[in-house]
Each structure stands twice: as C-alpha cells, then as structure tokens.
Structure 1
Amino acid sequence: MDKKIIFLDLDGTLTNDEKKVTPLTQKALLEMQKAGHIVVLASGRPTPGILPVAKAVELEKFGGYIMAFNGGKIINAKTNEVVFEQVLDRKYISPLLKYAKENDIGLITYDDKRIIVGTRMDKYIETESFINKIPVYETDMEEYVTYNPNKLLMTAPPEIATKHEQILAGKYKNQLSISRSADYFIEIMPKGIDKAASIEVLINKLKIRKENTIACGDGYNDISMVEYAGIGVAMENAVDEVKQVADYVTDSNNEDGIAKVVEKFVF
C-alpha cells in the first residue's frame, strides 16, 4: 500500500462554521488513519488552538501531526516530539509594534497558554481568542516577550488589511514571510516559512513521495500548500486564489467536503 498523507487547514476547511468537525468527516479521517494513512492538521493557529481538533480526529492514537503557526512548528501528536521548528527573531517586535500603533491596527503573539496583546484590543483579536479557546493577556509586549516567538499576527479591518500586507511584505521582503490567513489577519513568519515549505520538511522526514500528498484549504495562507501537493484541493467556500491553483474543488466546509476528498483520493 502506498501510504497517503493529507494536510488539512482547520478554519473554513476541516471545521464547519461552528468550528466543529462534523461526524461524517470525523468518521472518514478515522477510517483513513486505521488504514495506515497519515493526517496532518496544518493551521495558522497556535498549538493550543489546534489540540481540541487533534483530539476530535484522534491524532494522538494514530500518530498524526500538528503543523502550527503556518508550518513554523511541527509536532508528533503521539509522542509530543517537536520534529521541526523555526522561530521569529524578537528584534522584529519593536518596529512592528510601532507600525501597528501608528496605523491603529492590532498586533499579537503567543506564549504557551495565552495570546499576548501589544496594542489595544479589537474585535479581530477577540475572534482569534474565540477560535483558539485561549485567553488574551494585554501587556507591554516588548518587555514581556523575552523569547523568540513562533509568529506575530497583525489584525486590521478587511478594507485596509490588503494595503498593510503589501506595505509590510515590501518592507520586509528579504527578512520575513508575510501573508493573510483571513481577510483581517496578517501573518508574520520567519523568512521561508509557509505551509508548503513545512510539508516538504515533513514528507522528507517520513520518506513519503510528493505524489502521495493531499492538501486541502480555503484561505490565502493555504495557497502555497494547495499548489505544492500532489493533489491540491480547494473548498467550495475557498477564496478564488486557492481555487485557481487547485487540482480539485470539493464541497464546502459545511457540507463535509473533506470526507468527500478522503473517499475520492484515499479510498
């Protein structure tokens, strides 16, 4: 049997609009793992925000993987071993915090248990807290964050987020990887880190051929992995840019699109 490996974005892809894995999709992923294939949850979320979904699809039992922070950290769910990690130099906090405050937009990062807020709160930061089910901590980010974080996240209204993404991507094009995961989230990552790059790291470690990879997503930060994978899948609810690079468009996240992918391309 050729072992298949499926990489699943969470929000808007694996989980429905209520942020839950539906029974049909859960059943398909459990059957896939029982058959010896591998499931990887590939999300911009921090690790604590992915763990409840990992539990729902029993990654710990079957030895699946958690790819957090847009691929900045990969963990074996069974052993808790960190198989890959690349962090952001904390020197970027000061200038990015200054930029966020000057433009009245949000900037957050994470520790092991909380979202660290360096600016004023906004509804998008509240959304990030709700999605991940982890609390926020408003503090002096420059003073508090004495470590190199996995990522920084800027929050801005959709009507101006694109502008700020482009400005920052131009300013830091040789230093950082910057993309949007939602209309209002600007992901700031170490240079060279995206979901596709981390897929390549993991499949090389596991000695799985690229043609046996499936990647499913809906958002801007999924474009690289959908384009890279042997089979790239866009959800029906995906942004057009994801659909344009996909090999296949499945049903929406509310219509068990992932279950249909497993049935079509794994079984």
Structure 2
Amino acid sequence: ELNMTSDDDFVLSYNASLVQRIASQTVVRSNILTGADAKRIARKAKELGVHVHAFSRTEGLITPEHNYYTDHEAKINELSITLKDFETLEDDEEIMKVMIIDVPEKLSVAHEQLPEAFFKDYTIVKSAPFFLEFMNPNSNKGTGVKALADYLGIDASEVICMGDAGNDHHMIEYAGLGVAMENASEDTKAIANYITDTNDNSGVAQVIEKFILNAE
C-alpha cells in the first residue's frame, strides 16, 4: 500500500533489531538474540506460567505450543507458525526477538517477577498489554532509528518519530520531534514533544502536514 519497494526505502523490523534496505535487503544494522537466549527466556516463561514465542531468522514464528496470542500474532501479520521445542534450538541460532505472551493480568505479574539480571541482559518492552518483548540489549527503536539516521547522514534534530506504546519510548526520546498518538498510553504521552490525533483519525498524516509539508 505504501509502495515502499526501492533500495532508497528502509525497514526497521523486530523493534529495530534489524535495519535494512527493502529492495536489496542490505543490512544496515543487526543486533539480535541467540538460541541460548531463547531457551533461557522460555524456561523462565514456563516457570512463571506464561506462553512464549520467538522469531527465528530461518524458521519464522516459532512456539512450543499453540496459544491464543501466538495465533493472533500470526493472523494479523499473515505468518505461519512452526511448533518447536525451544530446547532443541542451537545455542548460536539467530533469533530476532523473543516474546512472552498471555492475558494482561498474568503478563503484568510475570513482568514484575523477572529476575533483575534479565533487565541487564535484554531490552524488555511491552508493546501491548499481552506482549512483552525481549531483544538484544543494544536493540530498541531508538538505537535503530539512530543507526539509520547516522547511515543517511541525518541529525537527530531532523528526525520525527511517532508512537503509541512502551516499545516506542526510546525512539520518541531520541527524535528531535517525538510524537505520541492521542490513543497512546499516558506514560508515552508524558515523554513526547507533541501529541497528535489518533491512529484512526490520520494522526500521522496530520504531523506530516504540520511539520513537513507546511513547515515554515
């Protein structure tokens, strides 16, 4: 729909763990996890009584067992699911990110019970009330946007980032203009320079018109 198919277009995926050109898939930056990380997180998820899935570079969306939230992730992103015992992963297998998922109440409790070491070893962000994401400690949307900006020779003051959830905080704080959507969580709005309309009311388009197309 966006017609972003040329080598002048870039994509930041897996919460910006991977930054690459779209057409050639040339990698600008890759900070990802390993199979050893996935096994460690999956063991903790089992101990805490919540579900887990991950994104493998070679196998796509993997999970030990079907669950509502993994099936939801697969449906909205049009992905197939591979059932896989995480203990069979090679320690050096390339894992883009790992997510523990469950009903919001259970996930919040699990989040609070994570060992302190996990917060040192991983970037941990909540992208939805039922999604808690684990990435390489050097990966988040802020460092990803910075990597692309540096690659293109763009200063942070020239960057606009817009978001509505916890996994957007790093890039909102990095950007010269950090924007929160009207439907964003209150903690996201608190760190933004500007609050636009909701996703459904073309909030992104309004920012583009105000600060780019009609900028003085």
Q: Same fold (TM over 0.5)?
A: yes
SS of residue paired to 2:28: strand
Matches within 5 A, 1:9-28: none
- C-alpha contact (below 8 Å) 2:32/2:139 kept by paired residues: no
CA distance in 1, matches of 2:12, 2:61: 18
CA distance in 1, matches of 2:210, 2:188: 20
Name the structure 2 match of 1:92: 37
Matches within 5 A, 1:133-144: 133-144=78-89
- C-alpha contact (below 8 Å) 2:50/2:107 kept by paired residues: no
Name the structure 1 match of 2:164: 218
SS of residue paired to 2:120: coil
Aligned partner of 1:199 among 126, 145, 148: 145
Name the structure 1 match of 2:73: 128
CA distance in 2, matches of 1:114, 1:132: 12
SS of residue paired to 2:33: coil
User: Normalising by structure 1, what TM-score?
Assistant: 0.74
Pairwise CA RMSD of aligned residues? 1.7
CA distance in 1, matches of 2:115, 2:169: 16
1:183-232 per-position Cα deviation (integer Å, ceiling 9, x unaligned): 11010111121111111111111110111100011111001111210111
Unmatched segments (≥5 aa) in structure 2: none
Residues 229 and 77 from structure 1, CA distance in 2 versus in 1: closer, same or farther, beyond 3 angstroms?
A: same
Unmatched segments (≥5 aa) in structure 1: 1-55
Matches within 5 A, 1:108-257: 108-111=53-56, 112=58, 114-118=60-64, 120-144=65-89, 147-168=93-114, 170-257=116-203
How big is the shift at 1:169?
6.2
Give me the identity figure in percent: 27
CA distance in 2, matches of 1:223, 1:157: 23
How big is the shift at 1:141?
2.0
- C-alpha contact (below 8 Å) 1:168/1:178 kept by paired residues: no
User: Normalising by structure 2, what TM-score?
Assistant: 0.91
Count residues in correspondence: 211
The one-letter amino acid paired with 1:232 is: G
